[in-house]
Chains A and B, each alone.
Chain A
Amino acid sequence: NAGVTQTPKFRVLKTGQSMTLLCAQDMNHEYMYWYRQDPGMGLRLIHYSVGEGTTAKGEVPDGYNVSRLKKQNFLLGLESAAPSQTSVYFCASSLSGGALTGELFFGEGSRLTVL
């Protein structure tokens, strides 16, 4: 059972470089999310998508872009990486973003370091 898969799991970038994190889910979920996890701050929502072809800003969207060209994939891009973007990034998906269950399914995380 693959569930939610993130690639890459680790990456080191230099300031100003660009990169893309890929999230893939095989559960046919409509909603997908990107969070970042920083010490003492819990998880903060970066962007999310309520379906194929849609994206929306979350709590901390600046410096990131996303795309949802296919239902199963949700890409997170950093156009010009900054040290403040050093973090662990988690992708999650849910069957519905409504009040039905609220349960999110998470990937294992991608640790990004920006030097």
Chain B
Amino acid sequence: GDSVTQMEGPVTLSEEAFLTINCTYTATGYPSLFWYVQYPGEGLQLLLKATKADDKGSNKGFEATYRKETTSFHLEKGSVQVSDSAVYFCALKGASSASKIIFGSGTRLSIRP
């Protein structure tokens, strides 16, 4: 079945560092891909998405490109801030209308001032 694998955390970086959180997936056909973010004490919220191969999703300085050839959707940000400290979840939704969203295990990111 469909699945999502993302890099284990926690990840700790200094402010203004470059961020990459790896995500790879297994799915038939052409799923839609998502990154969700969970700030402390809050529910998850959609950060960005891409619905077809080579699409780039972007929001709040974060980017991720849908790579069909490597089945990946890595999250990147050029210069992180303390306020980016959160848990990040990669997710996919299969091409079928009956498909449910499947989440990865989450990566905790901590940014040092």
Contacts and interface: CB of A to CB of B under 8 A. Distances in A.
Contacts of A58: 100
B93 A102 contact: yes
- Size class of B's contact patch? 20 to 34
A97 to B, nearest CB: 7
Interface of A: 4, 33, 35, 40-43, 45, 48, 58, 90, 92, 97-99, 101-109
A43 B42 contact: no
Interface of B: 32, 34, 36, 41-46, 49, 89, 93, 95-101, 103-106
A89 to B, nearest CB: 11
Contacts of B41: 108
Given A42-B89, A45-B100, A48-B100, A99 B95 contact: yes
A103 B44 CA distance: 11
A1 to B, nearest CB: 13
Contacts, number: 53
Contacts of A48: 100
Contacts of B89: 42-43
A99 B96 CA distance: 7
A24 to B, nearest CB: 14
A109 B93 contact: no
B97 A104 contact: no
B104 to A, nearest CB: 5
A102 B34 contact: yes
A102 B32 contact: yes
A35 B89 CA distance: 14
Contact of A41 (B43, B46, B49, B105): B105
B101 to A, nearest CB: 6
Nearest to A50: B98
Contact of A108 (B36, B42, B96, B105): B42
A48 B93 CA distance: 15
B32 A42 contact: no
